[in-house]
Chains A and B, each alone.
Chain A
Amino acid sequence: MAELTTLEEGIAGTVHDGDSVALEGFTHLIPFAAGHEILRQGRRELELIRMTPDILYDQMIGMGAAHKLVFSYGGNPGVGSLHRFRDAVENGWPHPIELEEHSHAGMANRYAAGAARLPFAVMRGYVGTDLAPVTRVEPITCPFTGEELVAVPALRPDVAIVHAQEADREGNVQLWGIPGVQKEAVLSADRALVTVERIVEALTPQPGGVVIPSWVIDAVAHAPGGSRPSYSLGITARDNDFYRFWDKLSRDRDDFESWMQTHVLNTVKAP
């Protein structure tokens, strides 16, 4: 059963130095508040896993919290580059980072295999590209048809963290809108933390709602606005201006560090 807790206690109880951590949310419902709390608690040497690193991992990489990044698209959606990610890869600042990259289809299948507790997933993909030789995929022959396919290894993060619109007092979670790969991420991980916009007496079924039962989650933390500048459909709107602002601010190391100091490290989350 999920324990209803604060964001500070939720992060302290689930995320440790050296863990592999997947903070998921495909453009929508990105768990920014949880990522920021990981930074405030000073976690280091993390293996960060996420299909689309987005601004959140740009911040975590720029603050030196990650030794490795597992991903499939490292851009600022609709705007351009992630400058802290680029600086780490191109110049090793603040320190070099190991990359393991895949296609979206590969990452999605790796999560699904992890959720199913299978060792790998089978797909058509990667062949003929320069990606295949630099990442972890292997050819596999279909035992029924003889077709040559590709195997991608299951993702089994130590911790998955996702954001959702609501949870009930038992810790059952419901999210709606773009569902991304959040359910798969939660089910693939050893430990799972969910931050939510609101705690309700009872979940009201939503069109397209994805319900994650309390008993596969370790902790639920109330974090209103916790996906900003991403969004929680129906509750907060995506702050497209911030995504554009970040493109300018994050180009400069000093500007970046001073912004993070003021807006992330020196802030205290209300309990």
Chain B
Amino acid sequence: MATTTEPATSGEVQTVVAARRLEHVRSVFIGVGRPSTAAILARMVHNPRLVLVYESGTIGAKPFHIPLSIGDGELAETADAVVSVPEMFNYWIGPGRVQVAFLGAAQVDRFGNLNSTVIGDYEHPKTRLPGAGGAPEIAACCQEVVVIAPHTRRTFVDRLDFRTTVGYGDGPGDRERLGFRGRGPTAVVTDLGVLEPDPDSRELTLTHVHPGVEVEDVREATGWALHVDDEPQRTPPPTPAELSALRELLSR
């Protein structure tokens, strides 16, 4: 296990940056993997009152360990309430009661639309991915969405093979036209930086680069001509407190 004196890896920076976005948030919807780690870290170091909501129906779960699945026993045992799947989607997700949703995807496009269904043709896929799960309605209904994904050309593509989940659709006005109540993706946190939608065009724009990363690195890892903010900011590096808490959490 790495000690806090060793520099943060790009994956650790990504988790820490995602956790920081939850400092003033009341409730967050999370899947497993890095989103779950980030949300548990946020409860540890920034926001002990943060309500974690997992798709399995556990509301207000307080896991000590990082769960492998969204339905691990510890989530149910520590939750404020445990509800059925129809209740989760119809009473909690649908009406927009959950503030922020962390989502991952196999492909992300310039408008923050997501693919988690297939690579290749739908009828004869090259790679069959798991599918939609809860993502389409979560992205439509939660008050805002933060996408967490590894920054490679394989993930950040010019054109999705399948649009599983709508971010900003084909651009300004699409979410309103589709009747979505949530604001949509407010940030895409990667292991290289942070992309945020341009207020007018809705196109993802590079606003932060992580320590040790150059703007050119991010352009190189993006499958379209990436818009870059006039003065992209440097992500403040993880603090010793953030890094030691994350490493302690991962070692549990």
Within 8 A of B (CB), among A98-128: 101-105, 108-109, 111-112, 123-128
In contact, B179 and A148 (Cβ under 8 angstroms):
yes
With contacts A28-B71, A130-B162 taken as known, whether A179 is within 8 angstroms of B179 at the C-beta atoms is no
- Closest approach, in angstroms, between the C-beta of A160 and any C-beta of chain B? 14
B68 close to A (CB within 8 Å): yes
Interface status of B212 (Cβ within 8 A of chain A):
no
Chain A residues, CB < 8 A from B141: 124
* Interface flag for B125 (CB, 8 Å): yes
| CB atoms of A127 and B179 under 8 A apart | yes
- Kindly report which residue of chain A lies nearest to residue B167, judged by CB atoms: A128
Identify which of residues 45-76 in chain B touch chain A, using a CB-to-CB cut-off of 8 Å.
Answer: 55-58, 67-73, 75-76
Whether A124 contacts B137 by the Cβ 8 Å rule is yes
- With both beta carbons as reference points, the residue of chain A lying nearest to B69 in the complex is identified as A77
- Pick the contact of B133 from A73, A81, A89, A129 — CB < 8 Å? A73
Interface segment, B6-14, B17-25, B89-97, B150-158?
B89-97
Q: Give the shortest distance, in Å, between A238 (CB) and chain B (any CB).
A: 6
Contacts known (A103-B136, A130-B164); A108 close to B89, Cβ less than 8 A: yes
Which A residues are in CB contact (< 8 Å) with B179? 124, 127, 147-148
Partner-contacting stretch, out of B77-85, B194-202, B231-239? B77-85
Within 8 A of B (CB), among A219-262: 231, 233, 237-238, 240, 243
Q: Is B193 an interface residue (CB 8 A)?
A: no
Contact A89 B132 (CB under 8 A): no
Determine whether B26 belongs to the interface, using a CB cutoff of 8 Å to chain A.
no
Chain A residue numbers with a CB within 8 Å of B33 are 78
CB within 8 Å for A109 and B136 given contacts A73-B131, A129-B163: no
Q: Is the interface of A mostly helix, strand, loop or mixed?
A: loop
Cα-based distance from A79 to B134 in the complex (angstroms): 17
Determine if B224 is an interface residue (Cβ-Cβ < 8 Å): no
Would A72 and B164 count as touching, CB distance under 8 A?
no
Cβ proximity bits B82-113 to A, threshold 8 Å, 1 near / 0 not: 11111011100110000000000000000000
Is the beta-carbon distance between B71 and A77 smaller than 8 angstroms?
Answer: yes
Given contacts A127-B178, A178-B71, contact A105 B162 (CB under 8 A): no
Q: Are B86 and A112 within 8 A (Cβ)?
A: yes
Q: Are A125 and B85 within 8 A (Cβ)?
A: no
Query: Which residues of B from 187 to 208 have beta carbons under 8 Å from A?
Result: none
Is A143 positioned at the interface, with any CB of B under 8 Å from its CB?
A: no
What is the CB-to-nearest-CB distance from B176 to chain A, in angstroms, rounded to a whole number?
Answer: 11
* In the bound complex, CA of A104 to CA of B136 (Å): 9
| Contact A128 B169, beta carbon cutoff 8 Å | yes
Q: At the interface with chain B, which of A12-20, A180-188, A191-199?
A: A180-188
Bound together, the chains give a CA A22 to CA B131 distance in angstroms of 19
B132 touches A104 (CB 8 A): yes
Q: Does B222 contact A (CB under 8 A)?
A: no
- Count of chain B residues with Cβ under 8 Å from any Cβ of A? 52
- B165 cross-chain contacts in A, Cβ below 8 A: 129
| A94: B residues at CB distance < 8 A | none
Chain A interface size, as a band, is 35 or more
Assembly CA distance A216 to B135 (angstroms): 33
> Which single residue of chain A is at the shortest CB-CB distance from B126?
A90
Distance between A77 CB and nearest chain B CB, rounded to angstroms: 4
B82 and A90 form a contact (CB under 8 A): no
- Whether the Cβ atoms of A131 and B132 lie closer than 8 Å is yes
Q: CB distance A178 to B128 under 8 Å?
A: no
A124-B94, A128-B174, A130-B117 are known contacts. Are A109 and B86 too (CB-CB below 8 A)?
yes
- Given the interface pairs A81-B130, A130-B122, the reply to whether A27 lies near B136 with Cβ below 8 Å is no
Contact A74–B84 (Cβ < 8 Å): no
Given contacts A26-B85, A75-B130, contact A128 B163 (CB under 8 A): yes
Bound Cα distance A148, B163 (Å): 21
Instruction: Please name 19 further chain A to chain B contacts, defined as beta carbons within 8 Å, in addition to the given A178-B75, A243-B68, sorted by A numbering.
Output: A26-B57, A73-B133, A74-B130, A78-B33, A79-B68, A101-B117, A101-B131, A103-B134, A103-B137, A104-B89, A104-B134, A108-B88, A125-B136, A127-B140, A128-B178, A130-B162, A178-B82, A180-B84, A231-B73
24 pairs, A vs B, C-beta closer than 8 Å:
A26-B71, A27-B69, A28-B71, A74-B130, A89-B128, A101-B132, A103-B133, A103-B135, A105-B89, A105-B94, A105-B134, A105-B137, A109-B86, A123-B90, A125-B137, A126-B136, A128-B169, A128-B174, A130-B163, A130-B164, A131-B132, A178-B58, A180-B57, A240-B68
